[in-house]
Amino acid sequence: KNEVEQSPQNLTAQEGEFITINCSYSVGISALHWLQQHPGGGIVSLFMLSSGKKKHGRLIATINIQEKHSSLHITASHPRDSAVYICAVGFGNQFYFGTGTSLTVIP
Amino acid sequence: DSGVTQTPKHLITATGQRVTLRCSPRSGDLSVYWYQQSLDQGLQFLIQYYNGEERAKGNILERFSAQQFPDLHSELNLSSLELGDSALYFCASSGQGGGDTEAFFGQGTRLTVV
């Protein structure tokens, strides 16, 4: 059983499109994290959320605690956004990870 | 640059061998996490240390062990290596630890077991 489910698994978009990646989780959490992993393998933390909404540049993350759901939005997508986006939930002292969404943005 | 340093970046070794992966956390961070990312499993939490003490354990095999030293750097020891241990191993650090603190990731060590 996977505590964190992401959708879609793969996503291809044209440059400029609005993109949404979804994450649902089944455990009570202390926080939800969105991570970005580029083809080189390095992981960058994008957001940490425990409620509401956060915005950083063209990236927006929202969370609905009651529905146990979070979304990551990318506005005006660009080829440099191509990466794997991973949702992770913090539960106690542990993190549980989704399997990732592989995003490809075509010029 | 996250401030978390992992060495080596790449490691190729034979089955049955033992290797040590090293992680230096961000300055001031007390908590270190280790994760394994294999092609078929995604990211898996292995173990967390906080200020030298083991705090949480995930899916870590008995052949694997870790420790955090007084200077807060951490080492992950993998022994009796099998082909299936080939993966990216990430270290992350955070200030206090816990699922509600932001974690900063190293660039990973790519381990290939042949």
Residue B98 confidence (pLDDT): 66
pLDDT in tens, A19-34: 999 999 987 777 899 9
Question: Measured between CB atoms, does A64 come within 8 Å of chain B?
Answer: no
Q: Taking CB atoms and an 8 Å limit, are A90 and B2 in contact across chains?
A: no
Shortest distance between the Cα of B59 and any Cα of chain A, in A, equals 11
Query: Which has the closest alpha carbon to A40: A80, A87, A78?
Result: A80
Residues B74 and B39: their CA atoms lie apart, in Å, by 24
Q: What is the mean pLDDT of chain A?
A: 92
Residues B1 and A97: their CA atoms lie apart, in Å, by 22
Inter-chain Cβ pairs, chain A and chain B, closer than 8 A:
68
Q: Are B46 and B91 in contact (CB under 8 A)?
A: no
Residues A10 and A63: their CA atoms lie apart, in Å, by 21
Specify the DSSP element, H or E, that contains A45.
Answer: strand A43-49
Burial class (CB in 10 A: 0-12, 13-18, 19+), A24: middle
Task: Name the token pair of B65.
Answer: 């062990």
pLDDT in tens, B37-50: 987 778 898 999 99
Option in A41, A43, A94 nearest B110 (CB): A41
Per-residue pLDDT of chain B (114 residues; tens, 9 = 90+): 789 999 999 999 999 999 999 999 999 999 999 999 987 778 898 999 999 999 989 889 999 999 999 999 999 999 999 999 999 999 999 887 666 677 889 999 999 999
By CA distance, what is A47's nearest residue in B? B102
Shortest distance between the Cα of A107 and any Cα of chain B, in A, equals 27
Question: Measured between CB atoms, does A4 come within 8 Å of chain B?
Answer: no
Parallel, antiparallel or unpaired: strands A43-49 and A31-37: antiparallel
Question: Measured between CB atoms, does A98 come within 8 Å of chain B?
Answer: yes
Which A-chain residues 22-61 have CB contacts (< 8 A) with chain B? 29-31, 33, 35, 41-45, 48, 50
Q: Taking CB atoms and an 8 Å limit, are A43 and B98 in contact across chains?
A: no
Residues B13 and A54: their CA atoms lie apart, in Å, by 43
